[in-house]
Chains A and B, each alone.
Chain A
């Protein structure tokens, strides 16, 4: 923006600081309509829009069998990412999200537990740190101006699990310590390339999101007693704009 309205007080201060000048005329107001009135192609309902987002999606559902019971709401995927949206018309857009998602399966400690072994701990979790890409098609509802409005997104997603870990915590710890935390990295029984489908129902900056994983959690070479973990993530998303 090229508009500058300089208050009398500020001008007075400037004038005093500059001392007696030869050109004593002071610009009180200035505008440049050529740049101020430029056609805008960037905005929430413009040709292109990009914004940050963050969200939290708990794991929903049960494992495919016994041995891998989960603690719900501690088992969840918080995520943060960037959304790029390209407007086709007022009713439809396409776009893609790039995000970092940290999927945590908090394992229930009971006598049936088999994942990754039968040992019981105070707390135990399997963590998958992922980078995901999610192309989507957006259907917008209602006439609106330069705002996001209400929408339904349909998408597919895929990702790369860049790090895996198995974390256990016991109290009291070994050797007289108060607590023992053991973290094992590089779990070779977890698949590295998850993918799935998703949908979002949103209004403005808020969205209800549901993701379904089509790929399996474990590799073919994993222990056969490992049952498939829940495939649904259902949660909320907040657009930062």
Chain B
């Protein structure tokens, strides 16, 4: 037996090639032990808006996580490795590229607490077509109106709430054409985009890289030619950050997200909207615990600095391999926004489900998962929880404008309470569609009981009260949309968060398919175990008062029945 010539030559070539090239570098995360003797003048480091935010929320002007990283530590790392790609004050760490030998030496440098391998990247297939602008149909205009009306946009407008005085940071893949698009002319007129930065290419130009950011921005502040606003906070100021590449997933993106969060903090952002998420290319579902990924830990720290982080829940609800939320939506303090079907007002099939590991409630709230958005050259209909998130970010801006002294977690709780279903929740809708009238007309939000539990022998019946069963005749508005938008049947699956693209023109709906001008009054019911975890949940269409009956045998061992109907929630234990 002997090696034949050709493999031998191949091997020689490979060996020669390996020796001819410099040693490959990998990405490492280097944490330092301390920030001894470091000082910071918050008044000069932070933008006045950032100082005001901290002051309002009774946060210290700066804490140890804001202090700069020791320059001598950074300098030592810089001299020992090829490249330092990120210096993080929040985590007192740097990210760098180094050979394994250099990384081994880093561990012995003074002040270095740990050196972790931080792998490079995985590729995703680049197979999706680019979003194309097209003329708006009547169905599009209807959806454009309803995507804000469903949240109570009219109530906010009457209360003159439009996000004025708030700064919203948007982290996305790029904002193609946003600097020229007519949908943002009002932002340009008042110079409302106060700062931009591309954290991947280290340049202020964010108007390249993809349309997704443009679409997301339009769901907060975009405007149609007929003056319809596509989002709820056209009066806000914006910080635009490019942290993501369209068709590639790099761990560098998580570093970029962290760098952007620190940048947003320094520049006075009140709200971060992140229509991005990382899933099975990097993590397992059980790691969606808010502590594993860098981006989730960065998001949690951003909330501690007083910024509300609103994140898309994810588009993996119909993916049997994942199904749950991605990260950073997994963070406890991150407001994860699920998607609703604009036709049925129920969970849209691709929106990721909860619970997060440890049975934590996710998503927190919901908004439309299909929207009309601005794309270069016009407008388009697009689907994805990426667009639910900015709709809620705009909503949050209006609330914070109204109650400027709320702390970020008070706002977080109030937003959950503004959910149409609150205190009922499930793992598909969270606390449901947000309702502006919770803030603009709080007295009207209180609801009388709408149903009763009636025990009969071996079962419990749910009977809707007569006064709640009354279906009033509807008074016609002066003007109304003549057709409604419907999701096309057999549509292609929705891409991962951050990569959604425009839909083709949906077919014209039949008259009987038209959507009601207000959300239908469904009955939501669920079974909870003794610990309060959901065992099962359903949504019923209500066509008769005796709407549900359940064998009492199902309510043993602490299992309870909880029901929500027309704003009223009650729990029945069977005792």
Contact = CB atoms under 8 A, between A and B. Distances in A.
B355 A26 contact: no
Interface residues of A, number: 43
A28 B540 contact: yes
Given A24-B543, A31-B427, A43-B321, A143 B535 contact: no
B347 A33 contact: no
Contacts of B323: 1, 36
B346 A28 contact: yes
Contact of B538 (A29, A210, A232): A29
Interface stretch (B3-11, B204-212, B472-480): B3-11
Given A5-B349, A146-B280, A33 B344 contact: no
B6 A9 contact: no
Interface residues on B, range: 35 or more
Nearest to A25: B540
Contacts of A34: 535-536
A174 interface: no
Contacts of B523: 25
Interface string B528-556: 00000111111111111001100000000
A27 B536 contact: no
B451 interface: no
B45 interface: no
Contacts of B5: 61-62
Contacts of A147: 122, 280-281
Contacts of A27: 538-540
Interface stretch (B88-96, B141-149, B282-290): B282-290
B428 interface: yes
B132 interface: no
Contacts of A60: 4, 6-7
Contacts of B286: 39
B426 A31 contact: yes
Contacts of B355: 33, 37
B117 interface: yes
A32 interface: yes
Interface in B56-91: none
A32 B538 CA distance: 9
A3 interface: yes
A167 interface: no
A8 B344 contact: yes
Nearest to A228: B1
Contacts of A234: 7, 10
Interface in B1-53: 1-2, 4-7, 10
A4 to B, nearest CB: 10
Interface in A25-62: 25-34, 36-37, 39-40, 43, 45, 60-62
B353 interface: yes
A60 B117 CA distance: 38
Interface string A141-167: 111111101000000000000000000
User: Which 7 residue pairs of A and B lie closest in terms of their CB atoms, listed nearest first?
Assistant: A61-B4, A142-B119, A29-B539, A145-B280, A26-B541, A145-B283, A24-B543
